[in-house]
Amino acid sequence: MKITYFVNQYPKVSHSFIRREILALEQAGVCVHRVSIRGWDADVVDPLDKEEKGKTSYVLQGGIKSLLGLACSALFNSPRAFFKALSSALKMSRMSERNALYHIIYLLEACKLKQLCENEGSEHIHAHFGTNSTEIAMLCHLLGGPGYSFTVHGPEEFDKPQGLHLKEKVAHSKFVAAISSFGRSQLYRWCDYADWDKIKVVHCGLDADFFGAVDKTQVLGGQKQLLCIGRLCEQKGQLLLIEGVKKARDSGADIRLVLAGDGEMRNEVEALVERLELSEYVSITGWISSSKVQSLLRESDAMILPSFGEGLPVAIMEALATKTPVITTYIAGIPELIEHRETGWLCAAGDPDAIAESIIDFAATPTELVNEITEKAFLAVKSRHCIDTEAKKLALYFSESLS
């Protein structure tokens, strides 16, 4: 069984969960052909990402001229399929944030994807994210290429389901993977009832490195270090987190915050830290490797993620797997894994006072109870988010789609 994995950009520091899924599928006996639209010229830090980069084919690496040549060949060899795909591409431009020219370019990219699949003998395409990568996989299929499936993560797909034409993408697919029951429910809202049975829950997973010998227990007293992992952007809520940290410190909580990541809002984050006079207590690492993230998790007293919009963050799973307590918001698929004061701490999204109260509550919780909550959380994530188990689910769905 040979499957083409198709991603907008791969490898990428924030896509380590895709890399884990690919490697686990290969361990399960699936031959995976990696294709990405772009990323051949991107700098990657993680040694595993560097290795993956060498295994990946890139659609745009040859430039637009090569894509035009492939499109002409597709038109000449299969005019009916080409015009069917072209018609679909133009329909996808309706209500889209991107005009028709972009969708025609997606059709050109689909011609390249079809060629790469044929060269590798690929039987099926699996895309990650229900955005342009899935549209290209769909157009490739309409051109006569392999069938396809895709994984929906959220929140982007659920923010603009009509503009992304999720209904059409699901209708043409063999199956769709949602990373949580919440995600599945949102897909139900935007596709035909007749297609509901196509939608499967396949969790993002962690490998044995995260579930190895973990001997971490909380200690009494001292300053608590909170770690926030993720891109510095609106939906992750770092600006409100900084306000919450200020309120918690003003209330007497002895805490400091490490922001592990980088992004478009770094300047705003740094300016707020300075304005609130928190420079001594808040630091930003920039992009770091997976091994460094694991190291920081083991050094920190808790991971905090005050997001406004999520699917089910892999960062939360990684924290729980290293027996690091989690403070996060009551949104999307998060409550499927975190129960308040049972396997972590939940607070209302968009509320710096609620963030501060959760920080204060965590800091004041007796060590024995923190360790009990952390152990329960470890067992929960281990049972629900083992990458080998989830990869075997995917392999079964791939096999069924080919039968």
**Boundaries of CATH 3.40.50.2000 in the chain?**
2-205+386-402, 224-384
Q: Confidence band (pLDDT; 50, 70, 90) for 218? A: low
What value does the mean pLDDT take over residues 321-343?
Answer: 96
Q: What is the pLDDT of residue 222?
A: 83
Task: Report pLDDT for 214.
Answer: 62
18, 375, 41: which is closest to 177 by C-alpha?
Answer: 18
Report pLDDT digits (tens) over 360-392: 999 999 999 999 999 999 999 999 999 999 999
| Cβ-based neighbour number of residue 252 at 10 Å | 9
Distance CA 116, CA 398 (A): 19
Residue from 204, 210, 164, 205 nearest 186 by CA: 164
Q: Looking at residues 77-92, what average pLDDT do you find?
A: 97
* pLDDT value for 220: 54
Q: How does pLDDT run across 259-286, given as a tens digit for each residue?
A: 999 999 999 999 999 999 999 999 999 9
Q: Scanning the structure block, which residue is given the tokens 């689909």?
A: 110
Q: How many residues does the chain have?
A: 403
Distance separating the N- and C-terminal Cα atoms of the chain: 11
Q: What is the DSSP string of 46-96?
A: SHHHHHHHHTEEETTTT-HHHHHHHHHHHHHH-HHHHHHHHHHHHHHTTT-
Q: Rounded to an integer, what is the distance from CA 21 to the centroid of its chain?
A: 12
Q: What is the pLDDT of residues 154-203, one digit of tens each?
A: 999 999 999 999 999 999 999 999 999 999 999 999 999 999 999 999 99
Q: Which helix (H) or strand (E) holds 45?
A: none
Residue 57 reports pLDDT greater than 90: yes
Q: Does residue 366 have a cis bond before it (omega within 30 degrees)? A: no
User: What is the DSSP annotation of 160-198?
Assistant: STTTTTHHHHHHHSSEEEESSHHHHHHHHHHS-GGGGGG
What are the CA-CA distances from residue 241 to residues 30, 88, 127, 258, 387 (Å)?
A: 42, 43, 33, 11, 30
pLDDT given for residue 112 in this prediction: 98
Predicted confidence at residue 44, as pLDDT, reads: 85
What topology is assigned to 224-384 in CATH? Rossmann fold (3.40.50)
pLDDT at 215: 62
Secondary structure (H, E, C), 318-338: HHHHCCCCEEEECCCCHHHCC
Sign, CA dihedral 35-38-40-46, equals negative
The model's confidence at residue 209, banded by pLDDT at 50, 70 and 90, is confident
DSSP letter at 223?
Answer: P
Q: Whole-structure pTM over 0.75, yes or no?
A: yes
- Per-residue model confidence (pLDDT) at position 369: 95
User: Does residue 56 carry a pLDDT above 90?
Assistant: yes
pLDDT tens-digit profile of 285-314? 998 877 788 889 989 999 999 999 999 999
Q: Is the dihedral of CA 375, 381, 384, 389 positive or negative?
A: negative
Q: What is the share, in percent, of the chain residues with pLDDT greater than 70? A: 98
Question: What's the whole-number mean pLDDT along residues 141-158?
Answer: 96
Write down the pLDDT at residue 219: 58
Q: Is the pLDDT of residue 212 over 90?
A: no
* Domain 2-205+386-402 homologous superfamily, CATH: Glycogen Phosphorylase B; (3.40.50.2000)
pLDDT of residue 69: 95
What average pLDDT is seen over the chain?
Answer: 94
